[in-house]
């Protein structure tokens, strides 16, 4: 996913990378503060195969949709890594 976002940056898109907490979960407060009316896409890795964390996708999707952004649902998340975890 990172290569895709680096490519979009090279095309002139503004990409924001958000931090995760010690437990590997997305910092939801950072998402709430960084999302803007110009935000068109919120993309997260659903499950991490290295540490086993599963992101709170319903909460993240809700925040994205409230802002008018698209949330990358399971069609675009790394389904291989979350196999057997959902």
What is the three-state SS of the chain?
CHHHHHHHHHCCCCCCCCCECCCCCECHHHHHHHCCCCCCEECCCCECCCCCCECCHHHHHHHHHHCCCEECCCCCCCHHHHCCCC
Q: With 50 as the cut, is the pLDDT of residue 75 above it?
A: no
How high is the pLDDT of residue 59? 96
C-alpha to C-alpha distance for 68 and 20, rounded to whole angstroms: 23
pTM of the model: 0.78
How high is the pLDDT of residue 50? 86
Instruction: Report whether 21 contacts 27 (CB < 8 A).
Output: yes
Among 5-9, 17-21, 31-35, 71-75, the least confident range? 71-75
């Amino acid at each position: 996913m990172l290569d895709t976002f680096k490519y979009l940056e090279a095309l002139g898109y503004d990409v924001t990378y958000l931090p995760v907490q010690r437990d590997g979960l997305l910092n939801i407060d950072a998402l709430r503060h960084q999302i803007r009316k110009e935000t068109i896409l919120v993309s997260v890795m659903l499950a991490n195969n290295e540490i086993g964390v599963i992101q709170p996708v319903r909460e993240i999707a809700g925040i994205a949709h409230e802002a008018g952004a698209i949330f990358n649902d399971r069609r675009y998340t790394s389904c291989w890594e979350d196999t057997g975890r959902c």
